[in-house]
Amino acid sequence: MPATSTITGNLAMPGFTAPKLIWVAKHEPEVFVRVATVLLPKDYLRLRLTGDKVSDMSDAAGTLWLDVERRDWSEAMLEGCRLSRAHMPRLVEGSDASGRLLPEIAASWGIHQPVTMAGGAGDNAASAVGIGAVAPGDGFVSLGTSGVLFVVNDRFSPNPARAVHAFCHALPRRWHQMSVMLSAASCLRWVTRLVGGPNEAAVLAEVATLDEQERARAPIFLPYLSGERTPHNDPAALGVFFGLTHGTDRRALVYSAIEGVSFGLADGLDALASAGTRTGTLSLVGGGSRSGLWAQLLADILQTPLRVHAGGEAGAALGAARLGHLACGGSERVVCTRPPVASEHAPARDGPGRFQDRLERFRALYRALSPVWKAAGSATS
């Protein structure tokens, strides 16, 4: 059998569906033998609403059972997990119709005409459709619970050596690359609770009072509260504050958290660049995009212009609605436009000089601590 990454273009990371089902087969064999169909959460909801077992290409790419280049289930990957096509839903493009709402459900909701359900998408592919990232080279940064750098490709472009995700887009004949970090805006939420802040907006307002010297003295934060994917593929990685002193206050801790997430995204951008991917202006989406302070910090560290769109924090929901419009006959050219720009953030010219030393320490800390985490995990497993 060819290597997993040769077929799927992706490393077998713990968060994918296939490794989870292998765990079930090993630890709960009595459950595994009863598996009739494997459905992702939205696809189970679709089954209840339409009676059809269907998934879309973008979400299916994250199972590790999809031949991503061919946009079809991989017989070899399924057999490796003791499954077959009979266990898998039918595949459609995200913008295609996947079924119709069951008449009895429609009637109970007071709907008296047929309702078409689109194939849909994974969360990041839906966000891309929502902010109009549909052409090769388009991309965005997402500051949600996790952090994502997403770039559209016109061909399958895997880079598993750097833990880059290579998935199908939600639209036909397009793919995308993603660098994914597991904790992004969730780090801000965590540190806000840690320091007793009333809410994220309030503590970020305090951070805005820090001068450059105070920022330079802030601890270095490794944002691996849930392990990490790109570029490390390291589930053992842990969060760290390095450089605490008696003078460290809560402003410094919150600043360190958003800077550390931004450094993690810089690692992701570097992983994409190592495969030849180049980015221009990127859209910024997710809950973290509400903060102008964080948006500017991220633009300075990535040295990439960022554009925040009106409603960008809800881009995935808009993308899902747009896929529904396309499934009902809408034109991609008309439907998948870019929402109005709310703000733009150009990188500061002195950004590389200001952040290079701290970014190098950030990376050195990971290299130094990675063997410690792995040894600790081996001792407790």
The C-alpha atoms of residue 214 and residue 312 are separated, in whole angstroms, by 31
Residue spans of beta strands (DSSP E) within the chain? 54-56, 66-67, 72-73, 90-92, 97-100, 116-118, 139-143, 147-153, 165-168, 175-181, 220-222, 240-242, 282-285, 306-309, 341-345
Q: Let me know: does 18 contact 63? Beta carbons within 8 Å.
A: yes
Of these residues, 96, 123, 138, 300, which one is catalytic? 123
Which of left, alpha, beta for 114 (phi over 0: left; psi -120 to 50: alpha)? beta
3 is written with which tokens? 């290597």
The C-alpha atoms of residue 48 and residue 104 are separated, in whole angstroms, by 12
Which DSSP state fits 92?
Answer: E
Active site residue 249: no
The residue type found at 293 is L
238 is written with which tokens? 């842990």
Q: Let me know: does 239 contact 335? Beta carbons within 8 Å.
A: no
The C-alpha atoms of residue 361 and residue 129 are separated, in whole angstroms, by 36
List all residues 6 or more positions away from 99 whose beta carbon is below 8 Å from its beta carbon: 46, 49, 50, 51, 52, 54, 116, 117
If one counts every other C-beta atom within 10 angstroms of the C-beta of residue 305, the result is 14
CA 371 to chain centre: 26
Q: Using alpha carbons, select from 347, 253, 220, 217 the residue that is nearest to residue 295.
A: 347
* Locus of tokens 């002195």: 350
**Catalytic sites, residue numbers:** 123
